[in-house]
Structure 1
């Protein structure tokens, strides 16, 4: 209880308390606890995971292109070094890397089209979850057409 003095007599007044339990009227108000937004386009939903996968595949493709440009430039510097690098690419491990690269490129391409629709189609945000599942189905179909032939190449490299 707070005591207030008015004209020499002490009176007690009940302090007012704000919602968060602190006395109101204090000079510094406490900040409200930020609520995590539910139902946003990206945070914690399919949109977030498609965003994360899009960034990961984009960075992987970027590094592949960087290495590809550098190893292609070797042909001008030293044809022998270029042939040695190309020889290392004909290993089963690199074949698996090619499979991962194609999987990343196909997902990145389909998801990029989905992002364009979400950004520029007025109903895009409403259907972004369904479009993500369409991207995954198209990706699976494309990879199913590519994978058997590439795996045959991998098996042929072992023999």
Structure 2
């Protein structure tokens, strides 16, 4: 649902460029706040978890030993997700962190 909402908003705000470039600039300025930045981080978290879990499901379905190891693969997926999201925190949240704590 998060991805759908993001895509809907993205299409609508990009369409503003043709209608009114000033309205587009104002809309993009609204997005430059910590709440929206945190939502972007949440979106990245959802997409990454979905991708890793999808790979796990593929392995369970198409690997003969997949069902036997699905619990271990789940924990590997979650572990990878945590590590990758920790590494993505600063690059995604950089602008908000600079605004909150100074350059």
TM-score using structure 1 length: 0.58
What are the Cα deviations for residues 111-143 of structure 1, in whole angstroms up to 9, with x where unaligned? 111111122222222211111101101101111
1:1-159 correspondence to structure 2 within 5 Å: 59-158=1-100, 159=102
Stretches of structure 1 lacking an aligned partner (at least 5 in a row) = 1-58
Stretches of structure 2 lacking an aligned partner (at least 5 in a row) = none
Q: Distance in 2 between matches of 1:136 and 1:113?
A: 12
Q: Distance in 2 between matches of 1:138 and 1:121?
A: 20
Moved over 2 A (4+): 148-153
Q: How many residues are matched?
A: 101
* Larger RCO (CA under 8 A, 6+ residues apart): 2
TM-score using structure 2 length: 0.86
Larger radius of gyration: 1
Q: CA RMSD in A?
A: 1.5
Higher share of residues assigned strand:
1
Higher share of residues assigned helix:
2
